[in-house]
């Protein structure tokens, strides 16, 4: 189920207005995670490059992560923003896994603690 009751902060609304005034821009859903992994990696590495201690993802690392995430993240929850037809940002929405694991009382492996700790 997708949320449709999203509200934006005044700061985000102001930023969105500034982007609208700058020229051609678009926001579209990624139709396949694997096909867009290269774009996502470039945007991510570019956005984080000036942070202290940041080590850029290699193509292989990001491709591996994309392969793993495609089972968790539905295609309709990945958006790539473009300005003047150039990718500039992305957002990935994650499903609420808490709904699926609520009956486990906070433990992903309910018997693991009992078996290894002798409890």
* Predicted pLDDT of residue 27: 59
Q: How far apart are CA 47 and CA 55, in angstroms?
A: 12
Between the alpha carbon of residue 96 and those of residues 2, 3, 65, the distances in Å are 11, 11, 19
Q: Residue 59, SS3? A: helix
Closest CA to 77 of 98, 54, 62, 96: 96
Q: How far apart are CA 110 and CA 9, in angstroms?
A: 39
The per-residue pLDDT for range 19-67, each reduced to its tens digit, is: 667 666 555 555 555 567 888 999 999 999 999 999 999 999 988 888 8
pTM, rounded to two decimals: 0.58
* Predicted pLDDT of residue 34: 59
* Beta strands 86-92 and 25-29, pairing class: unpaired
């Amino acid at each position: 189920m997708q949320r449709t009751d999203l509200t934006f902060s005044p700061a985000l609304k102001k930023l969105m207005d500034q982007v609208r005034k700058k020229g051609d821009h678009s926001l579209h859903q990624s139709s396949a995670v694997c096909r867009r992994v290269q774009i996502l990696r470039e945007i991510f590495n570019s956005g984080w490059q000036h942070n202290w201690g940041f080590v850029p993802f290699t193509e292989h690392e990001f491709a591996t992560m994309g392969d793993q995430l495609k089972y968790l993240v539905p295609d309709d929850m990945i958006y790539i923003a473009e300005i003047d037809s150039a990718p500039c940002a992305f957002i990935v929405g994650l499903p609420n896994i808490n709904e699926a694991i609520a009956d486990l009382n906070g433990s992903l492996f309910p018997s693991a603690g009992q078996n290894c700790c002798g409890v």
